[in-house]
A and B are shown apart, each in its own frame.
Chain A
Amino acid sequence: MKNIIITAFLTLCIFSAAPVAAHKMRLFAYGNATTISGEAAFGSRPAKNIEVVVSNEADGTTLVTTLTDELGNFTFAVPGEAVENRFNLLIIANAGEGHRSQWRLAAEEYLPASTTETAGPAEPRPSQPVHPRPQANQQVAITEEQLKAIVDQSVAEQLRPLQRQLLLLSEKKTTLQDIIGGIGYILGLAGIAAYMRSKKEDKNVHS
């Protein structure tokens, strides 16, 4: 009788639990050399008003501290030193209560490729287009860098849902196999414990 009820309770737990998403915090970020945006969520619920700390991965110094908004989004301006020294950023969201998640944003993910950067400072460039084209028809001249920045930004925006989807996909969901496997382990351990005890009791009886 009692075993049936306990089994029924456990079965109920298993089936009510199966569709629930883990409460682990999910975090991701993207951006360009000026601003970095990102979002944090618990399963499908946005993680509101959570402290986000951005640090330099190499030495762990804190560069920026910000908070997520009502939708779990956050944005911060990239500090100059991070751009100059091409820091790999470590973005850590800490919801207190021991919930913590981190996202690594490598330098090449938010900064333009190093070849253009090292080719020389951006100062002499703007003077070049002036020579061949003296801006006859009031057209706004866009330098190569500006165009690249615009494209980079819009591509990053477009990739955002894709990134989120990828992250959701890569997140390991709890499956029925996990639950049943875990219970199987517990029963197996109970079996081992029972066996050890019975051996010990045998010894006590015989000696």
Chain B
Amino acid sequence: MWMNKCRKFRFNLALLAGNDLEGVARVEVERHLAVCPECRSHWLALKAGQRVLEGARTGEATTALAAVSLGASSSVWPELSRQIRVIDDRRSDSRWRGWLPAGALAAACLAIVVITSDLMDEPQATARTAPPGSAVPSWPVVLPSTGGSPFVSGSAAGVPHERIDTSDPESRPGRRPIRQRVLEDGSLRSF
């Protein structure tokens, strides 16, 4: 049976068997071994186990075999260098590919902005840039009211056109706006 005192050396005995114990701990264990036959026999058994492992290592150990056979011809480097180039290529591709979604998103946003601004600008541009004497649209044009004041589309003086008076209380939502035609002499005709 292991005595209590011996128990604390048990861990160190295994380390001592493989020369992994140094300093004060080693001295203490060696002193204990000199006076304790139980621990000494345990230590000898551990040493025997170490010799078995050593015999296995030094026999046909893979270390030696690998070292001998691993000449320049069997080095993994040639194959590895090819694979590394593939990795590098993939990396540089993915670097560009990483920007692709962001670029596409930016382009899509830009396209949306351009299209919507065109759509919003188009009627006003037609209304405000129509030069005098140009063709007057034959349909009534309803433009957003600015400041609640009535305005005239195709506003060239002396050109017959239609206007909608949105300021009229009658033109509240749900009510049909008053439509008037401006005649050549400047007079208005409601319809």
A and B associate in one complex: no
Name A's B-contacting residues (CB within 8 A).
none
Name B's A-contacting residues (CB within 8 A).
none
